[in-house]
Each structure stands twice: as C-alpha cells, then as structure tokens.
Structure 1
Amino acid sequence: MEIKKDILWRAYLCFIGMGVFAVAILGKVFFIQQVEGDKWRSLADSLHTSFMDLDADRGTIYSEEGRMLSTSIPYFDLRIDFKADGLQDPKKSIFKDNIDSLSYYLANLFRDRTAAQYKKMLSEGFKDKDRYFLLKRDIRFDEYQAVRNFPMFRLGRNKGGLIAETKNKRINPFKLLANRTIGLARENAQNVGLERTYDSSLSGVTGKRLMRRIAGGTYMPVEGYDIEPENGKDIITTLDVNMQDIAENALMKMMIQNEAQHGTCILMEVKTGKIKAIANLGRQKDGSYWEDMNYALMVGEPGSTFKVATMIAIMEDGYANTNTLVDLNYGRWPINRRVVYDSEPHHLTTVTVKRAFERSSNVAMAKLAYQFYYKKPNEFAAHLKKLRLDQFTGIDLVGEGRPNIPTTASKHWSAVTLPWMAFGYNVLQSPLQTAMLYNAVANNGKMMKPYLVNSIMEYGQPIRQFEPVVLNDSICSARTLAQLRDMLEGVVLNGTAVKLQTPYYRFAGKTGTALVANGNRGYADKIYQSSFAGYFPAEDPQYTCVVVIKNKPHAAKFYGGTVAGPVFREVADKLYALAIQKPRSLEGNTSLDTLMAMKGGKGSEWRSVARTLKLPFEGALTASNWVNADIKNNKLTFSPVKTAPGVVPDVKGMGLKDALYLLENAGLRVVIKGAGKVNTQSIQGGSPVGKEQTIVIELG
C-alpha cells in the first residue's frame, strides 16, 4: 500500500511539473507575441534585404531648333521615419516641439487637410513608431523644396525623419503637337512613336538600391548602398515646332469644318528627306480631335495622287507623252462588265494626256494602262516596284503599314485590276509613301529616305548623327521628269486645283478623291478620302507636303481640291512667308535647354559642384586655375585654360560671365553676339594682346 502511494505521489508530482512547465511555455509565447511582438517582427524584417531597381532619368526629345518635345520632370513621394534617432531621443522632444507648426505649414501648402487633421495623422504615426509613414504622394519639386524647410524636417533625415522618394513623369510640353509621332513613355503599356523606336537610348541604364524590409511588409532604403543609374541620352529630331504648329492648325481647321473622321498632314524637306512636321488628327467620341493614331503610316487606296506613278511607267516606256491624245468618253468607260467613272462630271472627249491629268481623269489613266499593258501587266507592276511603292519607307517609327502592288500572281487579281490600279485603286499605299514619291519628283528624280532624328546626344555632345539617305538616284529619265513637273504645275494652273493658286509663288501638286469602303457596308455610305500631294515653290522646291483626310459619310464637301487642297495651301502660304523669303539655317541647334551641357569655368567653382553632387572627376581644380569641362567614361574631365599675362585666353566652351572676366582682365574690349556658351572667338587663344584691342565672341 505504501509503495502504491509512493508511486502515485511521484506521478502526480511529474504531472503537476509538466503542467507548470506547459503554462510557462504558453505564457512566454503570449508575452513574445503580444508584448514583444512588434520588436521581434521588426527585427526579423530587418534581416530581409534585397536590391531594387533605380530607374535612370529618361532622356529628352528635342525639336531641331532645340525646344523640348518630350521630357521627364521629377515628382516626389514623402515619407517619415518616426524611429529616426532625433525623434526617439528621450533627452529631446523634437516631435512634440514641432508638431503644431509642422501641421500648420503642411495644411497651408497642400490645402487637403486642416492643421488639426495633419496633427492627428502625424501623432498616430509617431505613436506607432512607423518607420515608413506615407505623408504625401506625387508632389512637385517646388513643393518638395518648401517641405524640406518646414519645422522638424529642416533638421535633416536623421533628426527630422523626412524621406523623399523621387520618380519621374513623362510630359509633352506642347501637348497636341506631333504627340503621336513623338510618342508616349507609359509605365504599364507599350510605348509608341520615337519614344518606342529610340527607347534603348532614351531609357539609360537602370541602377540598384539596397532596401530593407520593415514592419508591415514595406521597404525602406539602406543608406550608402546605391548603384547609381546611368541617365538616358537626348534625341534631336528633325521636327520644327513652328512648322508643326502651322500644319496642325491648318489640318485641325478643316477637320472641324468638315466633321472629318481622321486626317494627316506631312511636311518633308525636299533635299534631305527630313520630316519637318507630321500632324495626325482623329475624331473622338465627344466630337473633339486628338493625335490618337499615326495616320501617316496607315495604308489604304490612295486614289488619284497615284496617277503620277502611272504616268512615270507609261512615259518611261515611251508609250505616250504630254501631247498624246486620249478619249475621255465624257467621263464614263465600260470595261469587262465594270464601268470606270471620272470623279468630277464633264463633257470632254478627245484631249491631250496633259489635259486629262490636269482634269484628274480616271478614264484616261485606265485606258492608257489597259492599252499598253493588258498583255503584260507585270511589266506595269515592275515599274511601280522600281519606285519602291511595294516597300516600307524605312522611317524611324514602328508600325508602318505594309504596302501592296498586286501582280498576276496575286490572289485577288482579276480582269479589271490593271485599269483600276492606274488611278489608285487595288493598291495599298501610306500617305508617307506618297510624300516620298512626290518628294523625288521635286528633288530632280532623287528619292530620299524620310527620317525623323538628326542626332543622339549625351551631355550636350553628339554621339551619333544621322545623315540624309538616297534610296534611288533617279526614279526616271530627265525627259519624263520635266513632263511630270509640267503636268503637276498644270493641275494648279488649269486643273482640279485651279482655285488654290496664288499670285505670290508657284506650287505644283495633284488632287485625289477616293471612295472608301466602310467594312461590310461596302461603298454604300459614300465615304470619300480627300488628298493633295505637292511641293513648293515650283521653280525651286523646298518642301513637299501631303494632306490626306477621310471624310464623314455623305459629306457635302469631299473633293481633294476643296478639302485637302486648302490645308496644303495654308501650310505653303505660311512657310513661304516664314522660311523661304527669310532663309535660315536648317541645321539643328545643339545649344539645348538641358542641364547636361558642360561649360568651362573657374576650377574652385567646378570643385565645389563636383564635391557637392558627389560626381567623379579627374583633373586639377584649384582656386587659381580656369578649366574646360567635358565628359569622358562617365567622369567629369577638366583641362586647364592658359591665362598667361599679355596673352589672349582661350574662352571657347565657357559661359559669358567667366569669358568676360578673363578677356577684360587681359585688357581686351569684348563684343558679344548670341547667347549660351562661347562657340568662337575672333582672336585665337594664345595670341599676344594688342593695345586697346577688340575681340568678338559668338555664343550659341
């Protein structure tokens, strides 16, 4: 019996001991989770670090004259580290002493909360010891500058706890102008336009930042562990803001007036192939117009502007010339159970080819093509292919539509394909291809590749430049070319564009009016595409301009000469006044509105800049020397400027203030031309200084 009691006593004792031990474990678990939970979770989170991408500053896109077309501006997210050393120091009361005034300033700046609401919000963050408290998103740079000087924040990050995260937003300062061609840099969608084509140059090289995970699953940066990004390069386009504005406004005026569906206006420099303006407008649901698509690159049946290609083929083969006679059949010609109609009614019969072209006769073009090529249609197609009408233009934009010149091997070839091709149907061409062809006619037969970018710049210096490219030295013989230009001038003097002529200058071109199919409804809705392609001035062409407008169904006004022609005329009038009567350099201005352009100056000032911004540099920088600055291998590189007494200093590359200081101290009188940094000086650096000598410096 005693043995049994002894065993039970021991068993009870073990059971009680195990129970006490279990209660102790549960108590400890509760204490760790509920009392010390935040501490251990924060400590656990602090052990998790990872590198996150730091986006480089995207390069800027400029017009040819140096105006910003697309650029990035900084925006900031503001956060507060309420566990910053200064805010948690028990010997100080920084938060308590500054909360009222800080709340007042924040409320006064942002005006989205009252001072009392800001105080409550900040107090809650301080109470929770939030290490990454979100104060404000997407504030501007000027607002950030103001916030940095607010009470508490002016003490710095370690004492005031302010954390600023920079991010860039892409903006187009001119908004509508060439918006689709310049493109958009979008975060969650594919870029378009030049932003897409030159994305690798504009985007730069991504950097890295070490981030530590803190309570709540958020991350905050670890100081001193950044791999700085390499900023993107700048793009200098061929676009001219003034010309783009003229083209955009002229097109917009007609689009609104005719309630058109969409339209494009292309302006091309004859000698080079540079695209100086490219306007694209589409009608939105609310009736307004916007640059929604690049209609200049979209293919369709061009209509009568294609007749230039037909005439090149016929005249090159020697089948006809401008004096050859053709019967217009009063504007109606039955062929293979179809009927060819002239778009504008008339009562003409036998006329010359030139007169038929001036009247834009479909019957004449169809008859000529059928008469000479019906047994060998592929020979006609070969002429068109020689004109590169079956190839992409090669412009530096993604999304160019695929052109099509059918042959007898084509799936949809029929007995009427050839005659309809002659006046611009059954072929697919983009307005840009039409511009390239007409530009070749204006350029004495030399076909130029259209392009949009002059150069790629880094720190204000070109690292890649684009030159004009000749695609075809001669699209036809000189004899054919002379006849073509005569006919194109005749269209304006005596033909379908006679109402567009002006007494101040001559221009040449061709109208086009094409009936457009509307999906399954076919041609029942009577939707017409109006076009005009030409160049000016006729005697010495400087610019080629193509206008294509797709009208609304059953539009009262739809002929090319009355819809597209006036847009061409307005563009030509204004450019003739601005650019041709007052010639100016068409070279791009490399003095851009950018902080990346380097200027020479005093060594001590450059040393201060480099050290403050923590920029790597090489070269001697002292209080007494003057230097020229450059960028090499991602480093600032400085070379000394010789400033010996009695010798003219070399001030090329310096800003005006520094150049004046050196030149006047050398005893020279200075005449200044231009603005920016010094490009040239009339007296070479190192020359002896003469008595009362004058030096001219040109800035740019």
Structure 2
Amino acid sequence: MRDLQKKIQKRIYLLAIMLVLPFIAIVYKLVILQWVEGPELKAKVEEQIIKYHTIPPIRGNIYSADRKLLATSVPTFDVYFDPIAVSRDIWSNELDALAAKLAQFSKTKGEWTRILSAGRQSGNRYIKLLENLTFSELQQIKQFPIFRHGKFKGGLIVEQKAHRRMPMGTIAERTIGYSSANRGQTGLEGACDIWLKGKEGKRWMQRMAKGHWKPINNGWDEDPVNGYDVVSTLDSRIQDILHHELLQTLINFEADHGTAVVMEVKTGKIKAMVNLGRTEGGYYAERLNYAIWESSEPGSTFKLLTAMILLEDKKADTNTLIDIGNGSWVFYDRIVTESNFSEKGSLESSGQITLAKAFEQSSNVAFARLVFEHYKDQPSAFVDKLYKMGLHKSVNFEIKGETAPMIPHPEDKTQWSGITLPWMAFGYQTSFTPLQLLTVYNAIANDGVMVRPYIVEEIRNSKRVIKRFGTTVLNSSVCSRQTLEKLKVLLANVVRQGTAKHLYNPAVPLAGKTGTAKLDYWKEKNSRKYRASFAGYFPADQPQYSIIVVVDRPNPDKAYYGSKVAAPVAARSASAIMGLTPASMPVDSRPAERILALSKSKKDPHELEDHVRKQVMPNLVGLTMAQAVALMENKGFKVSSTGSGPVNWQYPPQGSQLSRSVLIELKSFNP
C-alpha cells in the first residue's frame, strides 16, 4: 500500500513538472520579448507601420539693404484625400459636386468620380489628388464640397513643400549662394544657414498602401519653427549696375572671367559683389566667387603699398627722381620692363622721372629700382611693414571660401630669392584676393582706418531685429596723415593725368590705380595671358564708395591693359551709382530753363519702344512722367515714380539690360 502511494506521488510530481516547465518557458519567453527583444521588435514594427516624419521649416528670406527680396522659399502644397473619413451622408450628397470642382484643375468630372469612388471601395485612405498648388489655390480647395467639413470629417490631407527662388534672377547668384545636402553651402545661404534654416517639426505618419504615408492627427505633432530673415548690405540697384557693366566688358573683350566689388568707405558694407565666368556654352554666369576665392599676383595695383612704405620710411618723396633709362632694367639674369612703355598715352617719359610721375604712369622700373636700392641690405624692413599693417591675414569675410594672402618673408628661404624684393615692388611674388586688396584701398579713402568688409547687416524675425552687425576696425591707422594725403593725390592724378586720364569725369572724379599682371610668365616665356584690374574709390574728393574690378584673360588682340579693360567699368559704374542718390543730383544743379527744355524735347516713340522690346533701358529723361510710366508699364515692367513733371532721373541708367525683376525708378525734380 505504501509503495502504491509513492508511485502515485511520483506520477503527480512528474505531471506537475510537465505542466510547470512549459509555463516557466512561456513566462521566460514573455519576459525576453517584453524586456530584451521587445523594444527592438516594436521599433521595427512601428518603423514599418507608424513612424515620425520630419516637417521641414520655411527657410528665412534674404533681403538687400534696400529691402528687395534676394532669396525666398516659395511654399507649394500637395493635396491627398482619405475617403474613409467621410460619413455616408456627406459622401452621397456632395461627391458629385466635389468631382465637378476638381475638374477645374485637371481630368474630367467623370474621371474624378471614378477615382474617388474606387478609392473609397478599396479602402485607400491616401489618394493623391493635386500637387504643387499655390497658397491661394489651396485656400480655394479647402472650400470645395466634402473638404469644407474640415480635415477630420472632410478627409482633406495637405502636405507642404518649399522651393528656393531668387527673384532677381542670376544677379548676385553666387553671392547669395545655396545651401543643400546635394550641393553643399555657398554664399549668404551657407554663411547664414544657422539663422535661415529654422527648426524641423515632427509628425506621426501611418504607412498606407503602395508605400504612401498618411499623417495621424494624434495631438503629438511638433510644429516646425521657421527660419529668421537675413538683411544683407547689398544694394540691388548698385548690384544691377555693376553686374551689367562687368558683363558687357567680359563680352566685349572675350575674357575668361571677372569680378567687381563696391564697398561703402566708412562702414565696410559690401554694396555689390559680381562674379562672372564663361560657361561651356560661351555665356557668362555666376559660377565661382572670384572676389574672395581667387588669390593672385595683383600687378601694379600693389604699387600703392610700395609707395606707402617708401613715403613712411622717408626713403623717397613724391618729387624724388628715378632713372628708368629706356624703360628696362637688367637685374641679375632678369629684365624688368615697362609693360605699357609703348602704349600711346601711357609712359611718356624716359630717363629721370619723379616718384609721382612713376606712379601716375605705372613704371615698373622706377619702383623696382627704388625698393632694391633702399632695402636690398635689409629686405625685412620692407616686408615687415606689410605684416605690421595686417596684410598677411585674411579679412575673415562672412562668406566661406576666402583664400589667405601670401606675402613672402626673407626669413623663409623656400619663398625668398634674389629677385623677390624688386619684383614685389611692382606687384609680383605676392598674392591677394580682390576683396583683400580692396580693403587696403578703402583704408586710404577712409583716412587711414582699415575696416573689415562685411555683407550681413541684420538678422530679423519678421519686424523684430534679432542681431545687428556693424563696423569692425582692423587697423586704426595704416600710415601717417602726411603719407595719407600724398597717396590720395597720387591716386587722384592717375585718373586726372595718368594711365586712366581718358576716364576723367569732373562730375564724379575717380581716384585709383590701374594694374596689368602677366599670367603664367614663369612657365611660358612669351605668355599672352593677362589680368587687367583697377582699384580705387569715388568721388575722389569726398569718398563714399571704394571699388575694385578684375578681368581675367581678356583677348590680347583686343586689349589687356587695366586702363583699357577694367578701369572703364569702374568709371561708368561710379557715374551711375552716384546718380542713384537724389542728393547727388540737386534741383539747383539743373536750372529751370534746362528742366523745361527737357520736357519739350522730341523723342521718337518708335525708337523708345524698340529699345524696350530688345530689353535695353531707353533714355526716358525729358518725357513727361505720365508718358514714361505708361511706356514701361505697358511693356510689363514695374515702375516707381516720384513727382509729376518731366523725368529728370532714372534707374536703371540708359543702355542697361532690362529685367522684369528689377524695379524701374523715375524721379522728377519740379522747378
């Protein structure tokens, strides 16, 4: 009996174990699923069915200083439909009317009825209806039958996208730049990306048929924060003037590329920056920012620095005589020659000339001999002056890509040789970007105060200023007052009676220095590649703006001297820019008789219309304001007018290339 009980107990224990072990295994598996494998499996399921989608913010706008829109994000909308969300009553009563409304955009009423009905029958909760709609079109659609009941009862699903646009077209395209995952970051878009980009939002999305994703309105969405606006220092009118002047010169001289920059003297604000390069199709476009990236030997524009050092160290004065012989000087196994000795109207003298005349006529021999004579035993004394001014440092411009200057030093034997010093004197062996060199010329115009060029003025959130930028002084005095006054006279005389005398305009006097640098001279003995340049400021007596123009590889059979290729761009631009400010054209400077004569002038209307048809700005001065406005507005241009008498001032200037993105401004100064 006892043995039987033991057998029964064993069987009970065995049965209990057989029942408990699977239970333990199940519990163990549940624990593993819940705490170990669970989170990973859950994430995979949610990723396949439900997941967070980011909602891109609206990128901030970029404006010019005169509040013209340079870059903006234009919102477009894609519209989807969830027919299952619509009640039976609404569906039966309003489907026919909705199909008729949608037919206004595409397809027919019958096609829309079939598409919507088929979607409801199949359970498709994410039917794509229309894409790339404007905001006004979206507002119209929201009032359509069924949709007007709201997103929950009406089933309307809206997804927003944004496209970046430049309202001014290709003007300042490289300076404005871009910021994208595929293309990287350039220009203002890249420099100000931290403010422009905003903050992404989040939205729960559910996976639907055919790989589509539908938003889930569960209240857990996180709205995006739109980006701030950037106000640049650029003036759209000055940018337009400089762009078309440089473009026309590149075309005329069949150059490879060129750049031009205008800076406000007192502040360092960049008012215009143009960069144009030849494309494969033979056109010119803004491809690279040569103004801040391309560092090169400046040529004769460097002679300003040479003259400054000679005057500061009292090694020479403006009346110091230098023997230039017949325009060449043998130095070791090299020959320094006058690049423009044979150019008519340029270097007119031989033998002994003064430092002032050497500067006006851009004598290579004079500057090479003077510098070698006074610094050959102590070249560091010359070079250290450049370092002391801070010219060996970058200006730290906001836009990325600035190339650092290169100034060889005698202590660095890898950069220094026997010819380095005299060759530096007339603009070789060193390297600067156009913007860096402009900063030096601007300092002379600014009474010796060197300021950092900058292009971002404000960061704004709607009308509220978030951050404001201002002038930064790099060097409070690049030279003594005595030297400064002499340099100003030298620069003014280059245009008044020197290499650029053919451009002298007493109404807008220009001061500056021409430059002609030979390229690839170290590897091509008879190289015919040149870089023409001009750097200076205007008006010469009361400087408001500094300017640099660099034209690379013009056709040498046409012209290649800085005085013939680059300087005219600066002169024409200066005249047009000064004409933009009403204060520069006071009523007093135009007697009443002159204004009345203009109003009575005869202009051929067919000739004016022909200019406009060819996208060329005509001369509207002399027309009545009503006539001028009617002519331009009838051709589709936007016009801003001031005054009601005869037109006395216009922008863009006569002969400029017209664009419908540019506002035409007309002014009448009534007598």
TM-score interval (norm. to shorter)? 0.7 to 0.9
Where 1:164 maps in the other structure, the secondary structure is strand
TM-score relative to the length of structure 1: 0.72
Q: Which shifted more, 383-392 or 48-57?
A: 48-57
Matched residue of 2:291: which SS? helix
The aligned amino acid for 1:209 is R
1:187 CA displacement: 4.6
Matched, 1:248 2:249: no
Please say if residues 45 and 214 of structure 1, whose CA atoms lie closer than 8 Å, have aligned partners that are also in contact: no
Contact 1:516/1:523 (8 A) holds in 2: no
Tell me, yes or no, if structure 1 residue 265 matches structure 2 residue 260: yes
Question: For residue 141 of structure 2, what is the aligned residue in structure 1?
Answer: 147
Give the structure 2 partner of residue 191 of structure 1. Answer: 185
**1:307 — aligned with what?**
303
1:509-542, Cα deviation, whole Å (9 max, x unpaired): 1000111229x97465512111111111111111
Q: Give the C-alpha shift of residue 145 in structure 1.
A: 2.9
**Which of 544, 563, 572 is matched with 1:570 structurally?**
572
Distance 2:327 2:243 in 1: 36
SS at match of 1:394: coil
Q: Which runs of 4+ in 1 moved over 6 A?
A: 44-47
The answer to whether the aligner puts 1:499 opposite 2:498 as a matched pair is no
| Residues 524, 148 of structure 1: alpha-carbon distance in 2 compared, 3 angstrom cutoff | farther
Letter in 2 for 1:465: R
Separation in 1, partners of 2:509, 2:163: 46
Asked if the contact 1:515/1:523 (under 8 Å) is kept, the reply is no
Give CA-to-partner distance per residue, 1:107-153, whole Å, 9 cap, x none: 2xxxxx56665555555544433222223332322332333334443
Per-residue deviation at 1:476? 0.6
- How many aligned residue pairs are there? 533
**1:267 CA drift (Å):** 0.6
1:330 paired with 2:322, answer no
Deviation at 1:360, TM superposition (A): 0.6
Residue 398 (structure 1) shift: 0.7
Please name the residue that 1:685 is paired with: none
Aligned to 1:436: 439
Equivalent AA in structure 1 for residue 51 of structure 2:
S
Q: CA-to-partner distance for each residue in 1:524-561, whole Å, 9 max, x for gaps? A: 55121111111111111111011111134544211111
Q: Which SS does the other structure have where 1:464 is aligned?
A: strand
1:97 and 2:96 correspond: yes
| Residue 106 of structure 1: aligned partner | 105
Greater CA drift, 457-466 or 561-570 = 457-466
**What's 1:513 paired with?**
516
1:326 to partner: Cα distance: 0.7
Q: Secondary structure at the residue paired with 2:549?
A: strand
> Paired residue for 1:162?
156
Residue range with higher mean Cα deviation, 406-415 or 122-131: 122-131
Cα distance in 2 for residues equivalent to 1:105 and 1:578: 47
2: distance between equivalents of 1:269 and 1:489?
A: 18
Conservation of the 8 A alpha-carbon contact between 2:50 and 2:206 = yes
Q: Read off the aligned partner of 2:233 and give its amino acid letter.
A: T
Q: Distance in 1 between matches of 2:239 and 2:525?
A: 34
Could you tell me how far 1:272 is from its partner in structure 2? 0.9
Q: Which digits, 9 at most, give the CA deviation of each residue in 1:364-402, with x for residues without a partner?
A: 111112111122222211111223221111221111112
Give the residue type in structure 1 aligned to 2:127: F
Partner amino acid for 2:199?
V
SS of the aligned residue for 1:142 comes to: helix
**For the residues of structure 2 that align with 1:66 and 1:392, how far apart are their CA atoms?**
30
State whether structure 2 residue 130 is matched by structure 1 residue 136.
Answer: yes
TM-superposed CA distance for 1:240, in Å, is 0.9
SS in 2 for 1:79: strand
Paired AA for residue 130 in structure 1: N
Paired residue type of 1:253 = Q
The 1-side partners of 2:307 and 2:91 are apart by 90
Counterpart in 2 of 1:415? 418
Change (3 A) 1:471 1:149: same
Aligned-partner Cα distance in 2 for 1:46–1:353: 78
Q: 1:396 — aligned with what?
A: 398
CA contact (8 A) 2:95 2:113 kept: no
CA contact (8 A) 2:98 2:144 kept: no
- Aligned residues of 1:106 and 1:115 also touching (Cα < 8 A): no
350, 356, 359: which one pairs with 2:358? Answer: 356
Q: Aligned partner of 1:328: which letter?
A: I
Query: Residue by residue, what CA displacement relative to the aligned partner does 1:139-195 show, whole Å, maximum 9, x if unpaired?
Result: 322332333334443443334432110111111111222221122233532121111
Please tell me the residue identity of whatever aligns with 1:544. S
What secondary structure does 1:256 align onto?
Answer: helix
Sort the Cα spacing of 1:97 and 1:506 in 2 relative to 1 into closer, same or farther, 3 A: closer
Distance 1:168 1:100 in 2: 28
Q: Which moved more, 1:411-420 or 1:315-324?
A: 411-420
User: SS of the residue aligned with 1:253?
Assistant: helix
Name the CA shift for 1:448/1:85 in 2 (closer, same or farther; >3 Å): same
**Is the CA contact 1:105–1:150 (under 8 Å) kept in the aligned structure 2?**
no
1:85-118 deviations in whole A, cap 9, x for unaligned? 33xx3884257534641452222xxxxx566655
Q: Which amino acid aligns with 1:289?
A: Y
1:217 aligns with 2:216: no
SS of 1:526's equivalent? coil
Cα distance change on mapping 1:47 and 1:434 into 2, 3 Å? closer
The answer as to 2:480 corresponding to 1:477 is: yes
1:415 shift after superposition: 1.3
1-side partners of 2:98 and 2:231: how far apart? 49
TM-score, length-scaled by structure 2: 0.75
Instruction: Determine helix, strand or coil for the equivalent of 1:227.
Output: coil
Distance 1:258 1:115 in 2: 60
Instruction: Confirm whether residue 285 of structure 1 aligns to residue 285 of structure 2.
Output: no
The SS at the match of 2:83 is coil
Q: Given the superposition, is the C-alpha separation of residues 118 and 446 from structure 1 closer, same or farther in structure 2, using an over 3 Å criterion?
A: same
> Which moved further from structure 2: 523-532 or 54-63?
523-532
Checking the alignment, whether the CA contact within 8 Å between 2:85 and 2:152 is kept in structure 1 is yes
Q: 5 Å matches for 1:171-190?
A: 171-190=165-184
Partner of 2:380: 378
Question: What do residues 296-338 of structure 1 show as CA deviations (whole Å, max 9, x unaligned)?
Answer: 1121111110111111111111110111111112221111101
Aligned to 1:674: none
SS in 1 for 2:152: helix
Aligned residue among 538, 541, 550 for 1:539: 541
Describe the shift of the 1:399–1:93 C-alpha distance in structure 2 as closer, same or farther (beyond 3 A). Answer: same
Secondary structure (helix, strand or coil) at the match of 2:428 reads coil
Instruction: Classify 1:578/1:318 alpha carbon distance in 2 versus 1 (closer, same or farther; 3 Å).
Output: same
The corresponding residue for 1:320 is: 316
The answer to whether the Cα contact below 8 Å between 1:387 and 1:437 also exists between their aligned partners in 2 is: no
| Local SS of the residue matching 1:548 | strand
In structure 2, what is the Cα distance between the partners aligned to 1:241 and 1:287? Answer: 26
Mapped to 2, the partners of 1:303 and 1:560 lie a distance apart of 10
Taking the TM superposition and a 5 Å limit, the aligned residue runs for 1:582-661 are: 582=584
Unaligned runs of 5+ in 1: 1-43, 108-112, 585-700
Q: Aligned pair in 2 of structure 1 residues 368, 76: CA closer, same or farther (>3 Å)?
A: same
Among candidates 360, 366, 369, match of residue 368 of structure 2: 366
Listed as ranges, the gaps of 5+ residues in structure 2 are 1-44, 343-348, 587-671
Q: Distance in 1 between matches of 2:374 and 2:222?
A: 70
CA contact (8 A) 2:65 2:234 kept: yes
| Cα pair 2:508 2:574 within 8 Å, conserved | no
CA contact (8 A) 1:58 1:71 kept: yes
